Amino acid sequence: MARQLISGSELDRPTLEAILARASALKREPLASRALAGKAVALLFERPSTRTRISFEVGIYELGGHPAVLRGEELQLSRGESWKDTALVLSRQVAAIGARTASDQALAELAENASVPVFNMLTPTHHPCQALADLLTVQEALGRLEGVRLAYVGAATNVARSLALLGGIAGMQVAIASPPGFGLSPQERSALGDPLLTTDPKEAVQGAQVLYTDVWVSMGEEQEREEREAALRPYSLDEQLLGLADPQAFVLHCLPAHPGQEISPSLLYGPRQRIWEQAENRRHAQKALLEWLVGKLP
């Protein structure tokens, strides 16, 4: 069976470390690999994207390949064709398939029926490509991942799940602070590397070297906007909360950001963030991932 990245659990620690090391090398020499020379990679977008789309398009180009971007309204999926049939067709045309889908089941059906590597560009439950870039950013800043405490503050989104899972594989200590009803379930906790779960953001950030947050209202949650904003307002990442962390702590955000809501403007654009480098690192981490998926990781 072709390699896949659906949740991130497909990666063991040695593989994760190899991908991150390769990402660092490709960041230094962006055109050093021709792993996708003469090959196309399908990128399926059911949902809007900025960072995911541009980082994969440019990254595939730098690897010598062609990114075939397919938006939902351009596919026969919009007229009722199944994900199974889509997988069967695309597998005969491309070297790998990435999908950013509105449901986890859609990606699962695609992966089950494809004969080429399939990777998750975002589902409601997981965002492993974002977490790979996050870990690369932390490793660059601190020189290690083992024992690093990362505190995520806000609703337990797909990003929080992927951080817990991949951070746990890497040996990090992940703490997630969410309002009641917006956190991970006890069942999820055991499957995600046993992160610390709390409703107290001050507890989560205590001694943390990395503070992380995400939007209050994700795609598909617009009807719950008022309820979510009211519940998450005490979880805003600001200077006061950062002051409880490690003195050298820095801030991350997967973007897009809403300054003045989940993060203060002074943190988003200030000297104690690595957010824009984090966004760039999507490309480098994903290039290393693509090499691994097609069996070309050195």
pLDDT value of residue 78: 84
pLDDT value of residue 220: 65
Q: Is 214 a catalytic residue?
A: yes
Of 62, 70, 224, give the one whose Cα is nearest residue 155: 224
Q: Is 194 a catalytic residue?
A: no
pLDDT at 219 over 70: no
Q: Dump pLDDT digits (tens) for 78-113.
A: 888 999 999 999 999 999 999 999 999 999 999 999
Q: Is 278 a catalytic residue?
A: no
pLDDT band at 77 (very low <50, low <70, confident <90, very high): confident
3-state secondary structure of 290: helix
Do residues 208 and 149 touch, judged by C-beta distance below 8 A?
A: yes
The active-site residue, picked from 22, 274, 282, 283, is 282
Q: What mean pLDDT comes out for the span 20-36?
A: 98
Q: Dump pLDDT digits (tens) for 112-131.
A: 999 999 999 999 999 999 99
pLDDT value of residue 295: 98
pLDDT value of residue 204: 98
Task: Provide DSSP, 165-233.
Answer: HHHHHTT-EEEEE--TTSS--HHHHHHTT--EEES-HHHHHTT-SEEEE--SS-TT-GGGHHHHHHHHG
The active-site residue, picked from 214, 228, 273, 274, is 214
Do residues 288 and 294 touch, judged by C-beta distance below 8 A?
A: no
Q: What mean pLDDT comes out for the span 17-28?
A: 98
For tokens 């971007």, what's the residue? 69
263 secondary structure, DSSP code: B
Dihedrals phi, psi of 205, to nearest 5 degrees: -85, -5
pLDDT value of residue 226: 83
Mean pLDDT of the chain: 96
Range(s) of the chain covered by CATH 3.40.50.1370: 4-127+282-293, 129-278
pLDDT value of residue 1: 81
What pTM did the predictor assign? 0.96
Do residues 232 and 216 touch, judged by C-beta distance below 8 A?
A: yes
The active-site residue, picked from 22, 51, 127, 161, is 127
Q: Is 130 a catalytic residue?
A: yes
The Cα 176–Cα 184 span in angstroms is: 9
The active-site residue, picked from 4, 51, 129, 130, is 130
Provide the residue count of the chain: 298
pLDDT band at 225 (very low <50, low <70, confident <90, very high): confident
Mean pLDDT lowest among 36-45, 68-77, 108-117, 217-226: 217-226
Q: Dump pLDDT digits (tens) for 238-285.
A: 999 999 999 999 999 999 999 999 999 999 999 999 999 999 999 999
Task: Provide DSSP, 88-154.
Answer: HHHTTT-SEEEEE-S-HHHHHHHHHH-SS-EEEEE-SS--HHHHHHHHHHHHHHHS--TT-EEEEES
The active-site residue, picked from 22, 100, 228, 283, is 100
Task: Calculate Rg over the CA atoms of the chain.
Answer: 19
Of 125, 154, 119, give the one whose Cα is nearest residue 233: 154
Q: What mean pLDDT comes out for the span 136-165?
A: 97
Q: Is 246 a catalytic residue?
A: no
Of 203, 204, 195, give the one whose Cα is nearest residue 174: 195
Mean pLDDT lowest among 66-75, 94-103, 219-228, 287-296: 219-228
pLDDT at 203 over 90: yes
Fold of the 4-127+282-293 domain = Rossmann fold (3.40.50)
Dihedrals phi, psi of 180, to nearest 5 degrees: -55, 130
CATH homologous superfamily of 129-278: Aspartate/ornithine carbamoyltransferase (3.40.50.1370)
Q: What mean pLDDT comes out for the span 227-233?
A: 92
The rounded Cα 127 to chain-centroid distance in angstroms is: 4
pLDDT value of residue 81: 93
Please, what is the Cα angle at 156 between 152 and 162, to 5 degrees?
A: 75
> What percent of the chain has pLDDT above 70?
99
The active-site residue, picked from 254, 274, 284, 286, is 254
For tokens 């398009």, what's the residue? 57
3-state secondary structure of 22: helix
pLDDT value of residue 62: 98
The Cα 192–Cα 187 span in angstroms is: 9
